[in-house]
Amino acid sequence: MKKRNLLIPVKSADELQKILFIQRSCTLVAKNEMLALVIRNRDPEKYILAAKKLLAKYASYPTLTEFAADPKLTNVYKWGATFGVTALVGGLILQEVGALQPEFVPVLLRAFLLLLKELDQPEHKSLVELLIGELKVEHISTWQAERIRLALAGLVETFVAVSAQFGLMTQGKEKAALTPTGKRVLMHLASAARFIDEMNKAHEKFQSKKPKP
């Protein structure tokens, strides 16, 4: 099996700190843009429309994975949009879903990524069945399983409604579907998950090389 290239080769602890600083800076810029929308758009409908455009703009830029595959993209686009997408998804989608479904707050990001992946490449009978399988609901009592099934159905409905509001999904009579922006967001979130994994491994490597007291 061919080894996958790193998104960002990190050669030293100092480089790692610089990369994480850029991540924080890009995240802060996106959060400030989102906050500015709230200040400028007191009307809820105007705010949602503006936020939808902002998320689509960030999602249209190359992901970290695309930059790694084609470094020349840095000549055209600013690197780091993936961090902005992650911040906007957190502030626009996850925060609203969390307010409506507080019991699922600890797993919202994971559940959202699972739902996006399933809509992109369906492998289950329904989105609820997907989450039930991931949470191993079938291994608990029937009474508990039914309660969780109903709760997960509510979570899925909320995710679809909020995501459709911000242009990531469409709501059909029988099932939801990803929009082009939704697919781009999925790609960015997948890149972000890969970035976190790589940075954690780099941190562990440099920590292990520190001289012991």
User: Confidence band (pLDDT; 50, 70, 90) for 3?
Assistant: low
User: Confidence band (pLDDT; 50, 70, 90) for 20?
Assistant: very high
Q: Which residue has the tokens 């480089």?
A: 15
Q: Between 123 and 172, name the one with better pLDDT.
A: 123
For the cut 90, the answer to whether the pLDDT of residue 41 exceeds it is no
Quick one: angle between helices 81-88 and 13-40, nearest 10?
50
For the cut 90, the answer to whether the pLDDT of residue 27 exceeds it is yes
Q: How many other CB atoms are found less than 10 A from the CB of residue 146?
A: 11
> What pLDDT is stored for residue 181 in this prediction?
97
Q: Which residues contact 112 (CB under 8 A, 6 or more apart)?
A: 89, 93, 94, 97, 159, 189
Six token digits for residue 22:
């850029």
User: Confidence band (pLDDT; 50, 70, 90) for 60?
Assistant: very high
Residues 146-174 have a mean pLDDT of 90
Q: How many other CB atoms are found less than 10 A from the CB of residue 166?
A: 24
* Percent of the chain at pLDDT exceeding 70: 91
The answer to whether 115 touches 58, Cβ cutoff 8 Å, is no
Q: Exposure string (b/e) for 57-83, b if CB count within 10 Å is 16 or more?
A: ebbebbbbbbbbeeeebeeeeebbbbb
Single pTM value for the model: 0.88
The answer to whether 6 touches 64, Cβ cutoff 8 Å, is no
